[in-house]
Structure 1
Amino acid sequence: MTFQSSSKPQAFAPLSAESMAGGVYGWLTPYLIALAKQNAHIHSRLLHLTRTELHFIALCLALMGEKRDDADHFGAFARDYDRLPRRSLLANYIDTAGPGYSPKLATLVSKLAGRPWRMRSYLRLGELYAEPHARKTLCHLASISRWHLIALSRLPAPYRTYGVLRKIRKRYDLACVMFGIEVVRRVRTDMTDRQIIASLERSDTSRIRDWVEAHYERLPFPTAPTGALTDGTGAVSRPVATARDLFRAAREFDNCVDRYLWEALTGRSCFYRCDNGQRRIAVAELKRLPGVGWAVDEIRGPNNAELSGPERAQVFAMFREAGVLPAPQALSRFSWFDLE
């Protein structure tokens, strides 16, 4: 392809839909050709434009709106392209009716990654730059990809921070982070958005669910079927009422009962711990029997050990007195009645 150089600017006709779709730079190609026809400097190095320059031209054209297809407006932009600083070009030629588009966007073009983007991506960049939280994050990033724009645009405005964005390591992490934020906002009504953001940014876990679960520590479980149960010998079976209590039971009995947090929160399971003074006896899991009440589904001692016969009888006597049935698997590991 060759271009004819001319000292006189050539008239620029609006581009057809067909011409906008083709070329090595997609929608940008026909505009680059038209720019080269009216700017000798662009003409001389059209095939050697840097990534930053291509992004800047594309940004200007995207933010011009419909004026980019106006012959006079585009011609003036072409003539001023080498004469004015980038910020001045944006100030003079972008569509001021846009959502707060700022000439300061020129400071970001050196960070824009890859080949020229779709026009919509530059519009999204302009919209995000107008929002204070996103603008601060964009300025902090060493490189800006289209994926960064997608992630920032989907996050609630206060959460468009650099620290939150770092939690989105892979594309499918975005949905998990957004869901986790909404869950914590509803659970922790005692916290402000700023406090929740700080909590998420300080979190050292790679699993967003771990961060969410940590905020359930103060949330009470559904009401247990009974209060504390006693047998007159000093043994007491108490319902585990909060996530904090569940985590404590897992530590003190050295078992994995803390993995059943969601079951306890949703009421699918209810947990009791049985102690006699300082002596830890057992942790019991109860499950609901439709139309009947609750039954002991599993019971274990410290370190998940089997209870002795007398200990098992002692604990079950307390539950039977309260109307809670022992399922066969709670009585013997050789029997099983599925309560799921």
Structure 2
Amino acid sequence: MNALNPSFASLLQPVSSCLQLEQIAKHFGDFTALHQIDLQVEEGEFICFLGPSGCGKTTLLRAIAGLEPQSAGRMLQQGRDITHLPPEQRDFGIVFQSYALFPNLSVFDNIAYGLRNQRQPKARIQQRVQELLELIGLEAAVHQFPAQLSGGQQQRVALARALATEPSLLLLDEPLSALDACVRVHLRQQLKKLQRDLGVTTIMVTHDQEEALTLADRIVVMNQGCIEQIGTPQEIYQRPANAFVASFVGRMNLLTVEAISDRAIRLGEQQMDLNRAHGVPVGEQACLAIRPEAIQLQPPTDQVAYRLQARVNEVEFLGAFVRLHLVLTQHQAELQFDLPLGVGCTFQPQTRLDLYWPQDQLQVFAGEAR
């Protein structure tokens, strides 16, 4: 048999991911913080661990860093088994929520800290620190100390320090949560640009869904130590895997319904046919989900829609749009309905209106609405 062409043979080799987690578990006494976590992170990806407080996302990040060794499972970084390696032998940079800058060191010395520990030549340290200062736009602050910087500037210095040693993996533990809203939005944009320009694989922990939707290539939604769903921001938002993801990521109306066939449900006395099977056994209660912005005031011309009558209970002004808090007339269920500012402001409490629910926007999950 002839040998394979080398260039063709290379295509047959498995591509090594940046990080691979296999059945990672973490126990604190009788409490299980992580349940058999499997995850593969590709080179250059920006991954967000998203979930409520106590869901295990920070514990998982600390396990990856080696700061909180896992109780079970295996961890590979670029094909190298790092399961039992201490933090200093893992190739990562980390930025904590508090930034953890050395208060007695200047901006230059904070950024240079890891390079000096590696015994890099002075000329290389000077060059690398200067490159990073230009990258984060803080050349003028080179001799200042952390106490002389704003929160946003400290965050950028912490990022530069984490990137100084050119790690293959950047770990971020809610790095923007201590900042005010305007600074957070601005630095979110800077962080995404920085990550794209450098191509560094990044994992960030956040409880802020807007942050995750804006920054991530993929989102890992966690709850009670388990992964509920992994997907792109669009997949997570438009096709949540279950009621938890649907309600945690964005606003979602959740109503209890009954499954009457594999493609139909009953809301009160009204039957709604779906364009996909819902998987809930006939006769059992289920959860109907629809986004507030998916509801319409006029019947769509290009698809099936269901008409329901409702009464306005409250009008909430939210800047760019108005959220109507409604009560369905027949079912007495409460729901939210988002409208553009000009249209939404025309409604007053007690106004009655017809709503149209497009068939392709309806999703059904097992279990009752909560």
- TM-score tier, shorter chain, comes to under 0.3
Higher strand share: 2
Answer with 1 or 2: which has the greater Rg.
1
Please state which structure has a larger fraction of its residues in helix: 1
